[in-house]
Amino acid sequence: MSTIDQLNDNVSYMDDFQPLNSDEINTIKKAQDIMRALDSIACTACHYCTPGCPQQIPIPEIFEAMNRKLLFHDDEAALKRYHQKTNGKSKAKDCIACGQCKFAFRSILPS
């Protein structure tokens, strides 16, 4: 939002606010439980981790390929995806374990 009109427009959607009922809350809780039980890397591909990588590794794309392996147990599809996503780019094996990606989010936090 960058104008008062945009702010008013966004806030107007709360005019008829109705809180979730217990059935809706339970449905969300069930969905959360299912998602937590999945054996996968919780990456939303925000790319906050990538700007500081000295090796320019496409970290979220590699996680996406790994999630195919973890979720669907399809090693061939996961490997194909990995090669598609890293074609012409750095590979996971190029990681030097500098740790920069683990702390990259700090650069986007207000000081």
Taking CB under 6 A as the rule, does residue 65 contact ligand SF4? no
Of 1-9, 22-30, 52-60, 75-83: span binding ligand SF4 (CB under 6 A):
52-60
The least CB distance from residue 13 to ligand SF4, in Å, is 39
**Residue whose token pair is 């490997």:** 79
Compare residues 12 and 44 and give the one whose CB is closer to ligand SF4.
Answer: 44
Site string for ligand SF4, 67-106 (x = CB under 6 A): ----------------------------xxxxxxx-----
DSSP 55: T
- Cβ-Cβ contacts under 8 Å for 81 (sequence gap 6 or more): 64, 65, 68
- Cβ-Cβ contacts under 8 Å for 60 (sequence gap 6 or more): 43, 45, 46, 47, 49, 50
